[in-house]
Structure 1
Amino acid sequence: MKNSVKILCVLLVVSALLMGCASNGAEDGKKTVTIWSYGSDNVKTTFEKLANAFNKSEHGKKYQMKVEFISSGSNAQSLLDRTIAAKKAGKKNTDYDLIEVSDAELAAYQSEGGDDFFQKLDTSKMPNAKNVKAKLSTGQDILMPYRGTTVVLAYDSAKVSNPPKTADELYQWIKDHKGKFAYNSPSTGGAGGSFVTTSVYNQLPEAALVSSDEKWSKEWTPGFKLLKALHPYFYQSGGKTVYPNKNQGTLDLLANQQIEMTPAWVDQVVNEINSGILPKSIKMVQMDPAFTGNLASLAIPKIGGNKDGAYAVMDFMISKEAQTILLDEMGAFPVIDSSDIKSDNTKMISKFDVSTFRTSSIGVLGQELLKKWDEEIATLK
């Protein structure tokens, strides 16, 4: 009996010690900061690696980064709908501490949630902000870009030794090499969408590319005239011009040497070269004027409950460590000087300057542009 009591006492002491260790260990006193993002599985996996790195960093001594992710194609409520609903319900101190918002989405958030939906950024709380080279087209006082990608001209260097460098040179190359160029249907992927958008907006003042003013839609005629003129020279199958489905559709044609060049996302090309889907002979070049791209950014909703933690995560996301992870895992373009980043992917993107990225923010005109393409280009014989 005495032995049993002694054993019980020992177990109670050990248990108390273990509980003390747990309450005073690495997690003790930390505040959770939740970051929300969305997209494909590779984005989710990358965010999980970023969270692990943050939690091991200096910031992680005070905050615990948690990722909430909405997968593409899951039919789940969008991040915009969730956050707007939370605000309209009068919720405060929510776990929407930090969310991913593109500059193109900002207008929708402010339209639904009000101009004061987001916290204005205090860059003094983000020492790494001084290293960011990427330039936003809008929302500079609200959004912090953390990764970029842009559409470029991907070409087979085994077939093309001197690729076009300007838009006019590209249009002439297409005419001179009938059937060797393709772009995907713009409603099925952003690479084709960028080709259409820039073909139309290259004919307009640059200011039009960051305006949702309906007046610009009345100036689209020259751009659509160009697209119609180029139509017979694109990739054909069965004697008919074909606009492949999705961004991958044109890259498959490039991989199979059915075409020699196509507009494509930098990160997608990098990932597919690394995985062997695209041959090593595939190279990339940017046009002048450039194709458009995206700057994925972060913003702090005022309904979030941990603004200091949000700043800590935001500062980490633009650090050299996080930018390296994004480049390694996703082929994402760094928003800081890429020459400072050691990655196997650096060489493939070193020729592109993130400070010259060309972004578009045309609001509802984007959908009108796609509709006009469906009506006037997709129906051509």
Structure 2
Amino acid sequence: MKKMRMLVWVVLLLFVSACSPSTDAAKESNTILKKNWREIEETTKNKTVRMYMWGGDTGINRYMDDWVAPRLKKEYNITLKRVPMDAPEFLKKLSNEKRAGKDDGNIDIIWINGENFKNAKDNGLLFGPFVAKMPNYKKYVDAKSLDIQYDFGTKTEGLEAPWGKVQFVYQYDEKKVPNPPQSFEELAQWVKENPGRFTYPDPTDFTGNAFVRQLFYESSGNVKNILDSGYDEDFAQKNSVKMWDYLNEIKPYLWREGKTYPNNLTELDRLYSKGEVYITMGYNEARAEKLMKQSVFPASTRSFVMKSGSLGNAHFLGIPFNSPNKEGAMTAINFMLSPEAQLTKLDSEFWGENMSLDPARLSAADQKKLKIIKRGKSVLPAETLKKYLQPEVDSEYVAWLKENWVNEVVQNK
């Protein structure tokens, strides 16, 4: 009996030992989130914040190293260390640490969105909800916007802060298309009146899929319908009829009579630059500027979006569950959501990417600065982009549309 009692105690002790770090981490998180903002900032002094992020763009890296890091040091005495690593790799690292019960890691901020966020959220790899504590989030972010509430169909629920946005737009040559279409109905009419001058990439390509996804939104009546249902194949089948009908209606009038499609955006851009088609498209509202400067696109290139909506894609910053400096991470993220940081990021000298802030919430002085920033003649105004912005839905629809497009369009003779 004594041996049995001893065994029970040993098992209980092991159980408590295994669980206590997580319990301690949960207590620490609750304590942090109960602090007021001044207390959070005070805790960050003389601390290091390690930010793990994709490092493949020199402009982004320069923005972080030459602009963000020095200001965090000067204003908050935070040393920001940028660690180049792709999201799947650092999520694997965090997942391993979670399984091992390692509640004291070495990652403070991660740059994520889409499927990576969904995996991190589902596996409890994130600290929070923390965004509502940050003054700049509360003051400048439109928290009711669907692209902030959802990250590719997954509810964000305060576990990640929006850092920037890109938006799906169409580029056209205004010398050849003086009045670009404003709706898919007008696009169909234009395509019929200008046979061979429009096409879209095969939906196995990201851009081609985005074009078809936007039509799926129209076919479903409202993007909220898709968000509310999540990924639902029956819903997709019932609500995609109009989309397939539309694509088959314009098919004979496309480039090469719709018998073949560009494999990717690069091929579509080549057709546009050669003048074979008059409209191209892409998931970046400022993408045409560099191509115009390189004389790939004609200088008369401009952009438009459909008035029924334009797909938008936000990317976010999160804090790992085992960050050793959560207060420092929150302070750094709050700074990166400041108008000063966001307006600098918007300037093409560094990144040229759209803000995550609501332009209408900026001060008069900052709105003036926003208008002065020259993103280029082909880039639509921030107010226009926001007005027609629509969020991405569950990423499983990407594969569904890709597969069914072949059956419903390619094989439809």
TM-score, L = length of structure 1: 0.80
Structure 1 counterpart of 2:78, from 63, 76, 83: 63
Going from structure 1 to structure 2, the CA distance change for 1:216 and 1:260 (only over 3 Å counts) comes to: same
Corresponding position: 1:153 with 2:170: yes
Going from structure 1 to structure 2, the CA distance change for 1:379 and 1:232 (only over 3 Å counts) comes to: same
Range 310-319 or range 348-357, more displaced: 348-357
Going from structure 1 to structure 2, the CA distance change for 1:279 and 1:54 (only over 3 Å counts) comes to: same
Structure 2 counterpart of 1:350, from 381, 385, 407: 381
Range 142-151 or range 212-221, more displaced: 212-221
Map residues 248-259 of structure 1 onto 2, 5 A cutoff: 248-259=266-277
Structure 1 counterpart of 2:160, from 134, 139, 143: 143
The equivalent of 1:229 in structure 2 is: 249
Structure 1 counterpart of 2:404, from 372, 375, 378: 372
SS in structure 1 at match of 2:85: strand
Letter in 2 for 1:63: I
Going from structure 1 to structure 2, the CA distance change for 1:277 and 1:306 (only over 3 Å counts) comes to: farther
Map residues 27-38 of structure 1 onto 2, 5 A cutoff: 30-38=46-54
Structure 2 counterpart of 1:170, from 187, 193, 198: 187
Corresponding position: 1:305 with 2:320: no
CA apart distance, 1:110: 2.5
TM-score, L = length of structure 2: 0.74
The equivalent of 1:123 in structure 2 is: 132
Deviation track 1:249-277 (CA, whole Å, cap 9, x = no partner) reads: 21222122111112223132233234433
SS in structure 2 at match of 1:349: coil
Structure 2 counterpart of 1:331, from 331, 352, 365: 352
The equivalent of 2:214 in structure 1 is: 198
Distance in 1 separating the partners of 2:271 and 2:142: 34
Corresponding position: 1:340 with 2:354: no
Corresponding position: 1:244 with 2:262: yes
The equivalent of 2:119 in structure 1 is: 108
The equivalent of 2:63 in structure 1 is: 49
Distance in 1 separating the partners of 2:202 and 2:54: 23
Distance in 2 separating the partners of 1:355 and 1:302: 35
| Structure 1 portions without partners, runs of 5+ | 1-28
Q: If each structure's helix is expressed as a fraction of its own residues, which one has the higher value?
A: 2
Corresponding position: 1:321 with 2:340: yes
Contact 2:131 2:159 in 1 (8 A): no
Deviation track 1:22-50 (CA, whole Å, cap 9, x = no partner) reads: xxxxxxx73221222237x33x5413422
Contact 1:292 1:360 in 2 (8 A): yes
Distance in 1 separating the partners of 2:69 and 2:49: 11
The equivalent of 1:264 in structure 2 is: 282
Going from structure 1 to structure 2, the CA distance change for 1:133 and 1:122 (only over 3 Å counts) comes to: closer
Contact 2:48 2:78 in 1 (8 A): yes
The equivalent of 1:363 in structure 2 is: 395
Deviation track 1:228-266 (CA, whole Å, cap 9, x = no partner) reads: 222222222xx6633212222212221221111122231
CA apart distance, 1:313: 2.0
Distance in 1 separating the partners of 2:85 and 2:196: 39
Distance in 1 separating the partners of 2:131 and 2:386: 23
Contact 2:111 2:315 in 1 (8 A): yes
Distance in 1 separating the partners of 2:404 and 2:92: 28
Distance in 2 separating the partners of 1:319 and 1:227: 43
Contact 1:155 1:262 in 2 (8 A): yes
Aligned-residue sequence identity (percent) comes to 22
Structure 2 counterpart of 1:94, from 105, 115, 118: 105
RMSD, matched Cα:
2.7
Letter in 2 for 1:331: G
Deviation track 1:108-132 (CA, whole Å, cap 9, x = no partner) reads: 3323x14x73421243334354122
Distance in 1 separating the partners of 2:115 and 2:302: 28
Deviation track 1:149-193 (CA, whole Å, cap 9, x = no partner) reads: 11112111010111111121112212221111121122222x221
| Structure 2 portions without partners, runs of 5+ | 1-44, 151-155, 360-366
Range 145-154 or range 213-222, more displaced: 213-222
Contact 1:34 1:66 in 2 (8 A): yes
SS in structure 2 at match of 1:65: strand
